């Protein structure tokens, strides 16, 4: 079993790292403070090819598989300090492009994918509701077919990219008695009458990734905006979540790698008396544990990506990856803060922002508790 990157994968990863370092880190302290989304960074990523990694070449993308996605996003995470921007791009790709790519009609692919990979369109996934979270059985947003259209009513919350989005992937109930098979998925464009985008929600971390609520008041969309089949939204969502859980933390492996390098440099240069702090066992052990978490997380990521590249079901492995990587990522950020001490708490050293951004990883794409429920249900 070969655990190394291929030469081509390593070239893509290195190119992504160099691109991110050169193009994506301008004014990050100020933009984080103001919660400012980088349209410039979004377009630069699109020009680099990031949004089109998984899209076939005949549709304008790079035509690469999930293993390449993991390698490229790891490089991006290592080089880019704007974690919110990359979170927004991951959401755009994994919860919006992938469903259209796998389940959309030829007309939908033709109409939307080119703009989604060129940077012209920003997409947002709208599943979560205030009363039901991501419980497909409990969605109160409805879609009723009427005269060749669907009429949507309801609301969504915690919608990443919503304040800047051009396209929304919306899940709604089309048959209340159908349970899992009563859910359907729709494309809704931003200027559709009856669609309301709420004010940007202020957050603890990932501040450069905008989020808001959505409302639908007799929002009428063409029947052709249904993705897949009516009643197929539950299966579509489950498929999308498998991709998301398996790959959304790929950039976080790069962040963990960058933080470890920063901590090593600090531990080898910061002195207390005549000794560097790295000579103290308490610091050395933290660094050792950070390395263990990094390498085990990397293995979990690439196993999940490998299974998706083989087009195999990976429900268990993607939940294992999501749970273990998110917890390791948070712990590494906490250890980095301890290693830097009081300086780590200061904004200018940028460690406190990394911790704030990391904490959300145990919540989005299914909380750690949800992942444990999935894992245990598949084992028991």
Q: Which residues belong to the active site?
A: 244
**Integer Cα distance of 296 and 86 in angstroms:** 22
Q: Which two tokens stand for residue 357?
A: 């951004």
The CA–CA distances, whole Å, from 113 to 24, 165, 167 equal 24, 14, 11
Q: What angle do CA 171, 176, 181 make, to 5 degrees?
A: 60
- The CA–CA distances, whole Å, from 126 to 172, 187, 192, 222, 297 equal 9, 10, 15, 18, 29
Q: How are beta strands 271-272 and 275-276 bridged, if at all?
A: antiparallel
Q: From CA 306, how far away is CA 308, in angstroms rounded?
A: 5
CA triplet 126, 301, 349: central angle to 5 degrees? 80
What's the CA gap between 336 and 43, in Å, rounded?
Answer: 32
DSSP string, 285-331: HHHHHHHHHHHHHHHHHHHHHHHHHTT---HHHHHHHHHHHHHHHHH
What is the distance between the alpha carbons of residues 270 and 277, in angstroms, rounded to a whole number?
A: 6
**Tokens, residue 84:** 């919110």
* Nearest Cα to Cα of residue 246 among 304, 292, 309: 304
Q: Would you tell me how many other CB atoms lie within 10 Å of the CB of residue 199?
A: 8
Cβ atoms of 344 and 337 within 8 Å: the answer is: yes
């Amino acid at each position: 079993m070969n655990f190394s990157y291929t030469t081509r994968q390593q070239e893509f990863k290195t190119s992504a790292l160099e691109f991110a370092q050169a193009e994506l880190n301008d004014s990050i302290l100020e933009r984080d403070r103001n919660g400012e989304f980088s349209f410039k960074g979004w377009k630069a990523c699109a020009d680099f090819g990031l949004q089109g990694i998984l899209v076939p070449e005949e549709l304008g993308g790079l035509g690469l598989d999930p293993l390449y996605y993991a390698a490229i996003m790891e490089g991006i995470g290592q080089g880019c300090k704007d974690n919110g921007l990359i979170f927004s791009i991951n959401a755009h790709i994994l919860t919006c492009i992938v469903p259209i790519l796998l389940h959309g009609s030829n007309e939908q692919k033709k109409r939307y994918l080119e703009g989604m990979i060129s940077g012209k369109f920003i997409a947002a996934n709208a599943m979560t509701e205030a009363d039901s979270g991501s419980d497909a059985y409990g969605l109160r947003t409805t879609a009723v077919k009427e005269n060749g259209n669907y009429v949507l009513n309801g609301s969504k919350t915690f919608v990443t990219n919503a304040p800047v989005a051009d396209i929304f992937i919306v899940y709604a109930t089309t048959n209340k008695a159908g349970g899992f098979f009563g859910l359907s998925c729709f494309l809704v464009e931003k200027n559709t009458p009856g669609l309301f985008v709420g004010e940007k929600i202020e957050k603890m971390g990932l501040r450069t990734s905008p989020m808001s609520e959505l409302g639908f008041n007799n929002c009428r969309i063409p029947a052709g905006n249904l993705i897949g089949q009516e009643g197929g939204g539950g299966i579509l969502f489950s498929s999308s979540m498998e991709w998301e859980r398996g790959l959304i933390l790929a950039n976080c492996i790069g962040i963990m790698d960058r933080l470890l390098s920063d901590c090593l440099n600090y531990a080898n240069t910061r002195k207390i008396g005549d000794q560097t702090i790295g000579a103290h066992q308490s610091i050395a052990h933290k660094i050792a544990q950070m390395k263990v978490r990094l390498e085990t997380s990397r293995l979990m990521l690439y196993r999940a990506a490998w299974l998706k590249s083989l087009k195999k079901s990976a429900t268990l492995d993607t939940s294992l990856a999501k749970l273990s990587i998110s917890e390791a990522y948070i712990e590494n950020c906490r250890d980095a803060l301890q290693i830097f001490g009081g300086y780590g708490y200061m904004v200018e050293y940028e460690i406190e922002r990394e911790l704030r951004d990391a904490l959300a990883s145990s919540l989005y794409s299914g909380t750690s508790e949800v992942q444990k429920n999935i894992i245990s249900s598949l084992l028991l």
